[in-house]
Amino acid sequence: MSEVTTLNDMWMTILLTLDATIRLSTPLVLAAMAGLFSERSGVVDIGLEGKMLAACFASASVAHFTGSPWLALLVAVFISLCLALVHGFATITHKGDQIVSGVALNILVSGLTIILGLTWFRQGGQTPSLSGDGRFFSIDLPGAELMQNVPLIGSLYKELLSGHNILVYAAFALVPVVWWVLFHTRFGLRLRAVGENPKAVDTAGISVNGLRYRAVMIGGVLCGIAGTYIAIAHNAQFTRDMTAGAGYIALAALIFGKWRPVTVLMACLLFGFLQAFAMRIEGVQLPVVGVIPVQIIEAVPYLLTVILLAGFIGKAIPPKAIGKPYVKER
Amino acid sequence: MKRDTRLAWINGLLLPLLNVLTAFAATAVLFLLIGVNPLEAAETLLYGAFGYSEGIGYTFYYTTNFIFTGLAVAVAFHAGLFNIGGEGQAYIGGLGAGLAVFMLFPELSPWLMIPASVLGAMLFGGAWASVPGYLQAYRGSHIVITTIMFNFLAATLMVYLLVKVLREPGQMTPQTVLFPDNAWLPFVHDILPAFGLEMERSPLNLSILLAVFMCFLVWFFLWHTRLGYAIRVTGLNPHAAVYGGINQKKIIVVAMCISGALAGLVGINELIGYHHRIIMNFHLGYGFGGIAVALMGRNHPFGIVIAALLFGTLYQGGAELAFEWSNISRDIVVVMQGLVILFCGALEYMYKPTLIRWLAPVQEVRS
């Protein structure tokens, strides 16, 4: 009897860790897909973090004032889109340095959200916490309650697959869509071409700048959704620098997944899992190894990315024209 | 030929000035948006930064940090590298300074102790930056991404060390024990009375002299030594560098080392100069601030001092603003940094086509 319960406990622990993995991976998936569009078109996007943070603040504020999560999502996407357009204006129209522009946006947003938060809410830069309305709630998939008595599969279905909010499902549904757009549509072909060889695209009479603007704008929309998820679905308010480097981890996942949608998804899940795992084992005495310091696990995504970039495990080859503004010859 | 000389003053003077003014104007608009009169704010800010001697002390104390990180970013820029790892290098530099102190006898003369800590800071900061430099030069991984990752690695490493290894026994706060007295860099308010001057207590310490010295050193190094020349050629034209027999890979690593060593000196100002122990997050914001300082100062030590002083003023004055208006905090300075990086960096040439059209229209090309 006791053996069965410990086995059951272990199964539940695994399920809960995986459940947390899904919740933690969601913003990474959205942001990484945003970066994927942008970088595949040849525009580096260090500004994922800033766009997400701005969306966090916008969605939390709108949700507080209106109580409508959907309106909050809309405004957050709009704000993030505006920032993406600033990035595009600087790097595509004026051929400015893409990294400098991204860094500028990140720094700008991290200060601006606090100043506006102080002005509007006077709570030390936070937004009031949302109660009840204004958040995205979890959806129970049909039959979750019925299934829960079925061994293994029942709990798997109920704990892992069911009970997330709509943005989580949207994020994971997005990946095959991105894959299809990128590899099976004319737009996707051109997008990939413009990141590899913009001159060829230009010669074919297609606007390089137009394509890049579209890619950057898609990135803005997706970052807006990611930020909304962090602020009003995963949490219930905006707090200072609440994205906490998720944008950079998404960037790492993008590189780790070698700029391909499905492998990027895997990288996001891996990094999400590492975060979930770090939370679960904090202070827990493990067999053989004892207590693993959380920091070591937290450092793994960064370490892995550095090692991969250095070409020690496989090779991450970025789109060829990445980071270079396209100057049309006259 | 006429057009060229006109372009020089447009590029070198008018454009940077317009860019900085645009950043200021954008800040003024923000002040209006949050219901603060920008002129009143500027007055309060200047009073906070220069109105009383404690304020002045703080202003120059912050300026010192910005000089170090500004120089760090600039040296890397000259080699054509964008080092956004100043945050991590400053943090690890502080670790190096502290470890150097803890390794030595507490009774050691300050004349040896403090140089040792400076060396420790530069060594650790430089070593931390050399890894991304090496990976860029020899393995082709992008310096920006690796330095970002190294910022996070530095942060997790320091949390680990301060919580698990170096924490003062019996204390909850993740910080080390106090440094021995001999490792304290003198405060300026303790030195000035010897010259018959009075000053209120402030964190300003002798690191500022080190910062000024480093400005001269960087200037001399970049423009008057063989290695400095090699760094600038590598940044300006890598092909020419290779053709001229410069080992580009070596230069990249060396430039990153110097850059990291300079950023590491933030640890001297903060820890040896003021906190006198290794604490958490003493470095926050200075590494990124250095990017704004270097861009605004046009990567020249003289410009960097001016820009660092501006940001030091804003940092201290920003604290004064926070007393006066409840909806302002020092984060307003972060906003300004962002705007400066945006307008002086990414949108550097925004006005150029217009200016050229107005001031130097294309003339008949004579060959």
Q: Which residue of B has its CA nearest to A311?
A: B139
Spell out the alpha helix ranges (H) of A89-185. 98-121, 144-147, 153-155, 166-184
Residue A66 and residue A211 in contact, taking contact as beta carbons nearer than 8 Å: no
Give the pLDDT of chain A (330 residues) as one tens digit per residue.
466 777 778 888 888 889 999 999 999 999 999 999 999 999 999 999 999 999 999 999 999 999 889 999 999 999 999 999 999 999 999 988 898 899 999 999 999 999 999 888 888 778 888 877 778 877 777 777 777 777 777 777 777 777 788 899 999 999 999 999 999 999 999 999 999 999 999 999 999 999 999 999 999 999 999 999 999 998 888 998 899 889 998 998 998 888 999 999 999 999 999 888 888 877 777 777 677 777 888 888 888 888 877 877 666 778 888 888 888 766
How confident is the model over B279-325, as pLDDT tens digits?
Answer: 999 988 899 899 989 988 989 999 999 999 999 998 898 888 888 88
Assign B2 a pLDDT band (cuts: 50, 70, 90): very low
Contact A118 B327 (CB under 8 A): yes
- Write the residue in A119, A295, A310 that is nearest to B159 by C-beta: A295
Most A CBs within 10 Å, among B149, B286, B324, to test the A interface: B149
- For chain B, the three-class secondary structure string (H helix, E strand, C coil) is CHHHHHHHHHHHHHHHHHHHHHHHHHHHHHHHHCCCCHHHHHHHHHHHHHCCHHHHHHHHHHHHHHHHHHHHHHHHHHCCCCCCCHHHHHHHHHHHHHHHHHHCCCCCCHHHHHHHHHHHHHHHHHHHHHHHHHHHHHHCCCHHHHHHHHHHHHHHHHHHHHHHHCCCCCCCCCCCCCCCHHHCCCEHHHHHHHHCCCCCCCCCECHHHHHHHHHHHHHHHHHHCHHHHHHHHHHHCHHHHHHCCCCHHHHHHHHHHHHHHHHHCHHHHHHHHHHCCCCCCCCCCHHHHHHHHHHHCCCCHHHHHHHHHHHHHHHHHHHHHHHHCCCCCCHHHHHHHHHHHHHHHHCCCCCHHHHHHHHCCCCCCCC
Q: Residue A314 has what pLDDT?
A: 66
Contact B139 A115 (CB under 8 A): no
Query: Which residues lie below 8 Å from residue B241, measured CB to CB, with a gap of 6+?
Result: B230, B233, B234, B248, B251
- Domain assignment of residue A315, yes or no: no
B335 vs A contacts (CB less than 8 Å)? 108, 111-112, 115
Which of these, A24, A27, A233, lies nearest to A135 by C-alpha position?
Answer: A233
DSSP code at position A138: E
Rg (CA), chain B: 22
Contact A90 B144 (CB under 8 A): no
Q: Which residue of A has its CA nearest to B84?
A: A103
Contact B157 A295 (CB under 8 A): yes
Taking residues B74-87, what's their average pLDDT? 94
Query: Which residues lie below 8 Å from residue A270, measured CB to CB, with a gap of 6+?
Result: A253, A256, A301
- Can you read off the two tokens belonging to residue B252? 């990249």
Q: Which residue of B has its CA nearest to A295?
A: B156
Contact A103 B84 (CB under 8 A): yes
CA distance A243 to chain B (A): 14
Contact B144 A99 (CB under 8 A): yes
Q: Rounded to an integer, what distance in angstroms lies between the CA atom of residue B319 and that of residue B95? A: 27
Residue B138: other Cβ atoms inside 10 A:
14
Backbone angles phi, psi at B44, to 5 degrees: -60, -40
A310 vs B contacts (CB less than 8 Å)? 135, 139, 141
CA distance A170 to chain B (A): 29
Residue A236: other Cβ atoms inside 10 A:
18
- Can you read off the two tokens belonging to residue B232? 């600038």
CA quadruple B287, B291, B293, B294: dihedral sign: positive
Residue with tokens 């603060």: B36
> What percent of chain B is modeled with pLDDT above 70?
96
- Can you read off the two tokens belonging to residue A29? 């998936």
Q: Which residue of A has its CA nearest to B295?
A: A100
**Counting Cβ atoms within 10 Å, is residue A330 exposed (0-12), middle (13-18) or buried (19+)?**
exposed
Residue A324: other Cβ atoms inside 10 A:
13
Contact B291 A318 (CB under 8 A): no
Assign B363 a pLDDT band (cuts: 50, 70, 90): low
- Write the residue in A100, A111, A305 that is nearest to B334 by C-beta: A111
Q: Rounded to an integer, what distance in angstroms lies between the CA atom of residue A90 and that of residue A102? A: 10
- Domain assignment of residue A330, yes or no: no
Q: Residue B5 has what pLDDT?
A: 63
- Domain assignment of residue A134, yes or no: no
Contact B34 A255 (CB under 8 A): no
Contact B331 A111 (CB under 8 A): yes
Q: Residue B332 has what pLDDT?
A: 87
Amino acid at position B345, single letter: G
Which of these, A139, A169, A167, A140, lies nearest to A233 by C-alpha position?
Answer: A167
Residue with tokens 């944008």: A247
- Domain assignment of residue A328, yes or no: no
Q: What is the pTM of this model?
A: 0.90
- Can you read off the two tokens belonging to residue B308? 């660092």
In CATH, what number is assigned to the domain containing residue A239? 1.10.3470
Which of these, B20, B15, B25, lies nearest to B353 by C-alpha position?
Answer: B15
How confident is the model over A82-116, as pLDDT tens digits?
Answer: 999 999 999 999 988 898 899 999 999 999 999 99
Backbone angles phi, psi at A244, to 5 degrees: 45, 45
Contact B152 A295 (CB under 8 A): no
Amino acid at position B261, single letter: A
Most A CBs within 10 Å, among B145, B166, B311, to test the A interface: B145
Which of these, B151, B95, B113, B115, lies nearest to B278 by C-alpha position?
Answer: B95
Q: Rounded to an integer, what distance in angstroms lies between the CA atom of residue B364 and that of residue B361? A: 10
Q: Residue B362 has what pLDDT?
A: 64
Q: Rounded to an integer, what distance in angstroms lies between the CA atom of residue A202 and that of residue A328? A: 8
Q: Rounded to an integer, what distance in angstroms lies between the CA atom of residue B284 and that of residue B268? A: 15
Residue with tokens 């309305």: A133
Most A CBs within 10 Å, among B331, B344, B355, to test the A interface: B331
- Domain assignment of residue A98, yes or no: yes
CA quadruple B27, A248, A34, A38: dihedral sign: positive
Q: What range defines the domain where residue A177 resides?
A: 2-127+144-309
Domains for chain B: give ranges and CATH numbers. Answer: 1-36+329-367 (no CATH), 55-324 (1.10.3470)
- Domain assignment of residue A132, yes or no: no
B163 vs A contacts (CB less than 8 Å)? 295
DSSP code at position A130: P
Instruction: Report the range of poorest mean pLDDT among A75-79, B95-99, B162-166.
Output: B162-166
What residues form DSSP beta bridges with B187?
A: B205
Q: Residue B367 has what pLDDT?
A: 46
Q: Rounded to an integer, what distance in angstroms lies between the CA atom of residue B85 and that of residue A175? A: 32
Residue A52 and residue A229 in contact, taking contact as beta carbons nearer than 8 Å: no
Taking residues B220-237, what's their average pLDDT? 94
- Can you read off the two tokens belonging to residue B185? 């860099």
Is the pLDDT confidence value at B81 over 70?
Answer: yes
- Domain assignment of residue A321, yes or no: no
Q: How far is CA B83 from CA A232, A302, B259, in A?
A: 34, 17, 8
Is the pLDDT confidence value at B365 over 60?
Answer: no
Query: Average pLDDT of chain B?
Result: 90
- Can you read off the two tokens belonging to residue A80? 């993030």
The total number of structural domains that make up chain A: 1
Contact A252 B149 (CB under 8 A): yes
- Domain assignment of residue A261, yes or no: yes
- Can you read off the two tokens belonging to residue B287? 């590494």
